[in-house]
């Protein structure tokens, strides 16, 4: 990728000074623009991307100090070097202190020193612009990071709200299940009792049958075998009769379906009245 050239604007009301500066800088990697007045220089600045201006101080209409003061207002990034005589040093020093001017050279200037200072000034310009671009990039990245964090916070809040609703629904479903008028029991695929509602505890006896017990220790072997076959089959519900605590029940076995298929089932105990 070809490196972009710097643009240097030379301003002096004397054409021979401009010619001398052009000869001095002709071998430097700069695009050179020339102007014989401050007004013409502003026209060139409006049409070109200029990085450095070298201007004479004593010019008709607008001197170099005033010119650079206005340049700083409109184009603060441009490096400003002024050429002056000995009699202007105090005014130039004051202008440097105010930040209007980067550096000044006395006439007649030293060619080598002037070229060296121009190179240093443009290196400083590039460094400042790199820092500005880096600052803008950091600011933009921070802005995007802030947006991502805010979006993440919104997602966390939404997910928290969903979990709270799900937990509330789960608590409510447990309460509904616990208070159903049917005796309901949950059994895992390995024949462990994992759930009993209030009605099941009441009719089956919570002292004898508890969550964590194996069904083989609680029910007749024939019933346990049918329950196990139904759970293993996993698709058809069955009914069977049994006597528990001197009461007759019809036991309905319902295997779990969907993503829990094969992992267990539900037992519903229907009490049988005489004559049923």
Q: How far is CA 275 from CA 245, 271, 272, in A?
A: 19, 12, 8
Domain that holds residue 127: 6-134
Q: Residue 206 has what pLDDT?
A: 67
* Within-domain flag for 155: no
Pair 94, 14 in one domain: yes
48: DSSP letter: S
Q: Which residues of 114-136 are buried (b: 16+ CB within 10 A; e: fewer)?
A: beebbeebbeebeeeeeeeeeee
What pLDDT, in 10s, does the model give residues 24-66? 999 999 999 999 999 999 999 999 999 999 999 888 888 888 8
Pair 127, 237 in one domain: no
pTM: 0.55
**Residue 217 belongs to domain with CATH number:** 3.30.450.20
Q: Residue 1 has what pLDDT?
A: 41
The domain tally of the chain equals: 2
* Within-domain flag for 122: yes
Pair 34, 94 in one domain: yes
* Within-domain flag for 170: no
Query: CA–CA separation, 265 vs 262, rounded Å?
Result: 8
Q: Which is more confidently placed, 8 or 274?
A: 8
* Within-domain flag for 233: yes
Q: Residue 174 has what pLDDT?
A: 86
* Within-domain flag for 172: no
**Which region, left, alpha or beta, applies to residue 7 given φ > 0 means left and ψ of -120 to 50 means alpha?**
beta
What pLDDT, in 10s, does the model give residues 162-205? 999 899 988 888 888 888 898 899 999 898 999 999 988 888 87
Q: Residue 173 has what pLDDT?
A: 86
Model confidence band, residue 217 (pLDDT cutoffs 50, 70, 90): confident
Pair 130, 190 in one domain: no
Residue 68 pLDDT greater than 50, yes or no: yes
Q: Report, as an integer, the average pLDDT of 265-269.
A: 91
Query: CA–CA separation, 221 vs 206, rounded Å?
Result: 20
Q: Report, as an integer, the average pLDDT of 207-212.
A: 82
Neighbours of 216 (CB within 10 A): 14
């Amino acid at each position: 990728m070809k490196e972009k050239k710097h643009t240097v604007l030379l301003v002096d009301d004397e054409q021979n000074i401009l010619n001398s500066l052009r000869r001095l800088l002709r071998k430097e990697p700069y695009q050179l623009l020339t102007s014989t007045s401050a007004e013409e220089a502003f026209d060139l600045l409006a049409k070109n991307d200029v990085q450095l201006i070298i201007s004479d101080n004593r010019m008709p209409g607008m001197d170099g100090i005033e010119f650079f003061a206005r340049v700083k207002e409109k184009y603060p990034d441009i490096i400003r070097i002024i050429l002056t005589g000995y009699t202007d040093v105090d005014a130039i020093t004051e202008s440097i202190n105010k930040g209007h001017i980067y550096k000044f050279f006395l006439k007649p200037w030293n060619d080598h020193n002037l070229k060296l200072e121009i190179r240093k000034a443009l290196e400083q310009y590039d460094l400042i612009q790199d820092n500005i671009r880096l600052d803008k990039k950091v600011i933009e990245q921070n802005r995007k990071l802030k947006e991502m964090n805010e979006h993440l916070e919104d997602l966390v809040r939404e997910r928290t709200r969903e979990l709270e609703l799900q937990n509330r629904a789960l608590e409510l479903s447990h309460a509904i299940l616990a208070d159903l008028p049917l005796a309901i029991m949950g059994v895992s695929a390995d024949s462990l009792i994992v759930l009993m509602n209030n009605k099941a505890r009441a009719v089956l006896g919570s002292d004898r049958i508890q969550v964590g017990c194996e069904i083989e220790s609680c029910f007749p072997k024939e019933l346990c075998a049918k329950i196990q076959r139904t759970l293993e089959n996993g698709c058809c519900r069955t009914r069977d009769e049994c006597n528990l605590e001197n009461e007759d029940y019809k036991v309905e076995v319902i295997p779990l379906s969907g993503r829990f298929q094969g992992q267990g089932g539900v037992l519903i105990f229907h009490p049988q009245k005489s004559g049923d």
